A and B are shown apart, each in its own frame.
Chain A
């Protein structure tokens, strides 16, 4: 089946630093990748949609300069949380979508900003 990986699975960083999270589709090419944020005991909230080779489309209320997304290839997208603060602590989940198919989700990355 389609497998999506994320790295790292968890990260702790100091306030003010930047953190990069990778999302890879391991056995398929993903024309579209999605980034979600999940707060404890809450649902997934879509942050942005990225298509390979083009700029990401951000959902309303998501700061594009804060959450930098790069979709450099058909198998890799990265999310960089710039100048992270404690309120950015959350569970970040990516998904990847082959053409005309459903989304496949990664295992998530837990970010803790101290």
Chain B
């Protein structure tokens, strides 16, 4: 079956620091991969996605590359801001269903 494993948090960073959240997956076939973000008190928002191997998803300074050989989709941002404080979820889908990782709480301090 499908499963997603992501780096456990919480992660605390200073503003302008580099952020990496690791995500690996197990799936049959060729899934699409996603990163969702959940800001405090809000619902999930799609941050970025990649639908095939070697695709790079990017949005708001965040990037993640679909690595089929390592079954990974690590999220990176070069310089975080306080407003990036949120919970980040890695997810995959190879049909219409989404399977989520456990989520990583990121706190950015000024």
Footprint of B on A, CB under 8 Å? 4, 6, 32, 34, 41-44, 46, 49, 93, 95, 97, 102-108
With known contacts A43-B89, A44-B89, A105–B45 Cβ distance under 8 A? yes
Knowing that A46-B99, A93-B44 are A-B contacts, what are 11 other residue pairs whose CB atoms are under 8 Å apart, sorted by A's residue number? A4-B43, A41-B105, A43-B102, A46-B97, A46-B98, A49-B96, A93-B43, A102-B34, A102-B46, A105-B45, A107-B42
Interface residues on B, range: 10 to 19
Tell me the interface secondary structure of chain B in the complex: strand
Q: Which residue of B lies closest to A100 (CB)?
A: B96
Q: Do B100 and A44 touch (CB < 8 A)? A: yes
Residues from chain A with Cβ under 8 Å of B97 in the complex = 34, 46, 49
Q: Nearest Cβ in chain B — how far from A41, in angstroms?
A: 8
